[in-house]
Amino acid sequence: MFYSESLNYQNRFVVLMWKILGMRTIYIDIPNTVKGRLIELSADREKGEEFREIMERSEIMFLLNGETEENSFFIHVPDDLSPEEIQLMADVVLDIAKTVEFPFVSVGDIEQRYRVIISNNKEPELIGINKTPGMSSVEVFKPIIKSWDGRGRSNVEGRGRYQ
């Protein structure tokens, strides 16, 4: 049973409580809860101290796909990590997910589907304060605009406008 099946639509407001790794939380605090609980639960594991150090330097983002009702946890690790350290993180997270006696994610006491993605890939920011240099919206779309009147296209009168 998923979110839509667990809601009661009889003209009343229903609040569902999230639980992440056995700890109650609210939606906007899920990334902090995941980070804290993973560090807590890794403390007694073989590589717990190294995992904690890496995890404290990492950033977690939570996304919920409303169509598939799948929870995604993106752990963005620092660029200076070696592949072995990233593998260590994956091993510890997998070990935690397999050995805990409570669901990784539950809503209203109903276990939910989830995935954990560990990556050091950073998407370029097109707008905002931290905009990636050279990635303004014009630069991103310039190749697309140039292809509109490229060779083999019928609209030749626009050729050379965007150089």
Domains and CATH numbers, the chain: 3-119 (3.30.300), 124-163 (no CATH)
C-alpha distance from residue 144 to each of 47, 123, 141, 147 (Å): 47, 19, 5, 5
Q: What is the predicted pLDDT for the residue at 152? A: 62
The reported pTM is 0.67
Position 135 scores a pLDDT of 62
Residue-wise pLDDT for 107-139, tens only, equals: 988 899 999 999 888 776 666 677 766 666 666
Residues of the chain short of pLDDT 70, as ranges, are: 1-15, 124-128, 132-140, 149-163
For residue 117, give the H/E element and its range: strand 113-119
